[in-house]
Protein backbone atom coordinates (compact mmCIF):
# COMPACT_ATOMS: atom_id res chain seq x y z
CA UNK A 1 0.00 0.00 0.00
CA UNK A 2 1.17 3.50 -0.79
CA UNK A 3 1.84 5.90 2.08
CA UNK A 4 1.92 9.59 2.86
CA UNK A 5 4.10 10.37 5.90
CA UNK A 6 3.97 13.38 8.19
CA UNK A 7 6.81 13.27 10.71
CA UNK A 8 7.42 14.99 14.04
CA UNK A 9 4.53 17.44 13.90
CA UNK A 10 5.04 19.57 17.00
CA UNK A 11 2.22 20.86 19.20
CA UNK A 12 1.71 22.34 22.64
CA UNK A 13 -1.32 20.88 24.37
CA UNK A 14 -3.01 20.38 27.72
CA UNK A 15 -3.44 16.61 27.72
CA UNK A 16 -2.63 14.16 30.49
CA UNK A 17 -3.93 12.56 33.65
CA UNK A 18 -2.46 15.06 36.09
CA UNK A 19 -3.89 18.50 36.87
CA UNK A 20 -0.44 20.05 36.33
CA UNK A 21 -0.44 18.75 32.74
CA UNK A 22 -3.91 20.15 32.12
CA UNK A 23 -2.97 23.51 33.65
CA UNK A 24 0.60 24.05 32.40
CA UNK A 25 0.53 22.07 29.17
CA UNK A 26 3.46 20.41 27.45
CA UNK A 27 5.03 19.50 24.11
CA UNK A 28 3.76 16.65 21.95
CA UNK A 29 5.04 15.20 18.68
CA UNK A 30 2.82 13.38 16.21
CA UNK A 31 3.93 11.02 13.45
CA UNK A 32 1.37 9.86 10.91
CA UNK A 33 1.36 7.25 8.14
CA UNK A 34 -1.59 7.56 5.80
CA UNK A 35 -2.24 4.46 3.70
CA UNK A 36 -4.06 5.09 0.42
CA UNK A 37 -3.92 4.11 -3.24
CA UNK A 38 -1.84 6.93 -4.71
CA UNK A 39 -1.43 5.52 -8.23
CA UNK A 40 -4.01 7.86 -9.76
CA UNK A 41 -2.38 10.90 -8.12
CA UNK A 42 1.03 9.77 -9.31
CA UNK A 43 -0.21 9.61 -12.88
CA UNK A 44 -2.50 12.64 -12.91
CA UNK A 45 -0.34 15.03 -10.83
CA UNK A 46 -3.67 16.36 -9.49
CA UNK A 47 -4.23 17.06 -5.77
CA UNK A 48 -7.85 15.94 -6.11
CA UNK A 49 -6.48 12.39 -6.53
CA UNK A 50 -4.42 12.50 -3.32
CA UNK A 51 -4.64 13.56 0.32
CA UNK A 52 -3.72 17.18 1.06
CA UNK A 53 -0.91 17.22 3.67
CA UNK A 54 -1.86 20.70 4.79
CA UNK A 55 -5.45 19.66 5.43
CA UNK A 56 -4.19 16.62 7.36
CA UNK A 57 -2.02 18.90 9.51
CA UNK A 58 -5.01 21.09 10.37
CA UNK A 59 -7.14 18.09 11.38
CA UNK A 60 -4.37 16.90 13.72
CA UNK A 61 -3.73 20.42 15.04
CA UNK A 62 -7.41 20.82 15.96
CA UNK A 63 -7.25 17.68 18.11
CA UNK A 64 -3.83 18.35 19.64
CA UNK A 65 -4.56 21.97 20.50
CA UNK A 66 -8.21 21.36 21.37
CA UNK A 67 -10.08 19.83 24.28
CA UNK A 68 -7.97 18.20 26.98
CA UNK A 69 -7.78 14.41 26.74
CA UNK A 70 -6.29 12.16 29.43
CA UNK A 71 -4.52 9.42 27.47
CA UNK A 72 -2.15 9.41 24.50
CA UNK A 73 -4.13 6.41 23.28
CA UNK A 74 -7.34 8.46 23.25
CA UNK A 75 -5.60 11.34 21.43
CA UNK A 76 -4.39 8.94 18.74
CA UNK A 77 -7.84 7.35 18.42
CA UNK A 78 -9.50 10.77 18.11
CA UNK A 79 -7.05 11.77 15.37
CA UNK A 80 -7.69 8.55 13.44
CA UNK A 81 -11.47 9.04 13.61
CA UNK A 82 -11.16 12.64 12.40
CA UNK A 83 -8.86 11.63 9.54
CA UNK A 84 -11.24 8.91 8.31
CA UNK A 85 -14.14 11.37 8.46
CA UNK A 86 -12.16 13.99 6.53
CA UNK A 87 -10.46 11.96 3.79
CA UNK A 88 -12.42 9.39 1.80
CA UNK A 89 -9.30 8.16 0.00
CA UNK A 90 -7.72 7.09 3.32
CA UNK A 91 -7.68 3.29 3.76
CA UNK A 92 -5.65 3.01 6.98
CA UNK A 93 -3.50 5.11 9.27
CA UNK A 94 -0.78 4.72 11.85
CA UNK A 95 -0.69 7.43 14.50
CA UNK A 96 2.17 7.82 17.01
CA UNK A 97 1.98 10.47 19.71
CA UNK A 98 5.15 11.17 21.67
CA UNK A 99 5.34 13.03 24.96
CA UNK A 100 9.00 14.07 25.49
CA UNK A 101 8.56 15.49 28.99
CA UNK A 102 5.98 13.46 30.93
CA UNK A 103 5.77 14.12 34.66
CA UNK A 104 7.17 10.74 35.70
CA UNK A 105 10.44 10.07 37.52
CA UNK A 106 13.28 8.34 35.75
CA UNK A 107 15.67 8.69 32.83
CA UNK A 108 14.22 8.28 29.35
CA UNK A 109 14.01 10.10 26.04
CA UNK A 110 10.21 10.09 25.77
CA UNK A 111 7.04 8.06 26.10
CA UNK A 112 4.65 7.35 23.22
CA UNK A 113 1.53 5.53 22.14
CA UNK A 114 1.00 4.19 18.62
CA UNK A 115 -2.14 2.85 16.98
CA UNK A 116 -2.92 1.41 13.55
CA UNK A 117 -6.48 1.64 12.26
CA UNK A 118 -8.18 0.56 9.05
CA UNK A 119 -11.31 2.13 7.66
CA UNK A 120 -14.46 0.29 8.78
CA UNK A 121 -12.83 -1.57 11.68
120 Rama sector, left if φ>0, alpha if ψ -120 to 50, beta otherwise? left
Active site (annotated) includes residue 99: yes
- Catalytic position from the list 22, 23, 67, 99: 99
Are 15 and 79 contacting, i.e. CB atoms less than 8 angstroms apart? no
For residue 100, count CB atoms less than 10 angstroms from its CB and return exposed for 0-12, middle for 13-18, buried for 19 or more: middle
Q: Find the DSSP H helices in the chain.
A: 19-24, 39-44, 53-64, 72-86
Tell me how long the chain is: 121
Query: CA-to-CA distance for 30 and 76, rounded, in angstroms?
Result: 9
Annotated catalytic residues are 99
Amino acid sequence: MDKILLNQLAFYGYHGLFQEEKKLGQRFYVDVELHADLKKAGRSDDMNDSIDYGAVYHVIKAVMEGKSINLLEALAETISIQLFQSFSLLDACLIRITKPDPPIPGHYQSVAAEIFRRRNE
